[in-house]
Amino acid sequence: MSIKLEYVLFGFGILFCLAGVGYLAAEYVKNLSEVGKLISLLLTVAMFAFLSKYFEDIGW
Amino acid sequence: MSTKRRNLYLYLTLACFFGIIAIFIVDGYMGVYDTVYITAGEREQKIESDVWQRGDKFWSTGITRGEKAFCRYEVDNRRFSTYEAEIDVSIWRMQQKIDEILSQQIAVDPFDKEVLEWVIDTTELIPPDAPPEQGFDFTLRIKKDELERNIILYINPSPYPVKPVPAAPR
């Protein structure tokens, strides 16, 4: 029972972290130039693609 | 071989992440920034370009009647090319141009600054027959090509002169 509660708390922590990072990123993106936004988007896509490949390789 | 490839994916992920951070920093630094400095009443106010980028269309400053305000307009070119612009500075009141302060073409070299200076004399702006207890609002309009920077100049009324108290009869 206590393990489940820990997982819920971890879940909340991760959610708040993601929300905070997302909010900060959105605030920064507002001040970026159009070229900067495009390159950031491409790098974000590439980052998630490489991360997915990494997780795939370790067997997730 | 598989471990090496796996690590390569991880390094590429990290490289992309740091690339995004680098773009945030570099893109935030690069650009053309204009800053207005107004010194009135021995106090200097600095109005940075992000004030207007935040959406505040007006900024206000106060000048004591009869005194002068010393203004400095700095254009900071943080780009790899020369920045050229036409700068027009004027004073407005009730949608009417009261005074044209300067109109100048500037060319700022890459990663260099250009500074324009002028003085606003309140005695020249206020009508001479205006009562001393009346305050006035003017708009200092700085036009840089398409961009307009508006600063409200509030000219404070004169403080009441101290009346000498007559000496009591003995």
Residue A59 clears pLDDT 90, i.e. is over it: no
Q: Which two tokens stand for residue B14?
A: 């990290």
Concatenated DSSP letters of A18-51: HHHHHHHHHHHHHTS-HHHHHHHHHHHHHHHHHH
Mean pLDDT calculated for residue range B21-42: 90
Residue B4 clears pLDDT 90, i.e. is over it: no
| Domains in chain B, CATH or no CATH each | 31-156 (2.60.40.10)
- Cα–Cα distance measured from residue B157 to residue B126, given in angstroms and rounded to the nearest whole number: 11
Torsional sign, CA B28, B29, B31, B32: positive
pLDDT digits over B44-102, tens only? 999 988 887 776 667 888 998 888 999 999 999 999 999 999 999 999 999 899 999 99
What pLDDT does residue B57 have? 67
- Cα–Cα distance measured from residue B98 to residue B153, given in angstroms and rounded to the nearest whole number: 13
> How does the average pLDDT of chain A come out, rounded?
88
Mean pLDDT calculated for residue range A25-40: 87
Residues of chain A numbered 1-60 and touching chain B (CB < 8 Å): 28, 31-33, 35-36, 39-40, 43-44, 46-47, 50-51, 53-54, 57-58
Q: For chain A, how big is the Rg over CA atoms in Å?
A: 16
Residue B1 clears pLDDT 60, i.e. is over it: no
Q: Which residue has the higher pLDDT, B164 or B27?
A: B27
Closest CB from A32, A35, A54 relative to B10: A54
Mean pLDDT calculated for residue range B7-34: 91
pLDDT digits over B112-170, tens only? 999 999 999 988 888 888 887 788 899 999 999 888 889 999 998 876 655 667 777 77
Concatenated DSSP letters of B108-123: E-TTEEEEEEEEEEHH
Per the DSSP assignment, residues forming a β-bridge with A13 are none
Best probe of the A interface among B2, B3, B13, by most A CBs < 10 A, is B13
Closest CB from B13, B27, B28 relative to A54: B13
> What residue segments make up the domains of chain A, in order of their start?
2-57
What pLDDT does residue A14 have? 94
Mean pLDDT calculated for residue range A29-54: 91
Type of residue at B109: D
- Phi, psi angle pair for A58, to nearest 5°: -85, 0
Which residues are CB-contacts of B13 (< 8 A; sequence separation ≥ 6)? A47, A50, A51, A54
Helix, strand, coil in percent for chain B, rounding step 5: 20, 50, 30
What pLDDT does residue B138 have? 93
Which residues are CB-contacts of B60 (< 8 A; sequence separation ≥ 6)? B151, B152, B153, B154
What pLDDT does residue B38 have? 94
Best probe of the B interface among A27, A37, A43, A58, by most B CBs < 10 A, is A43
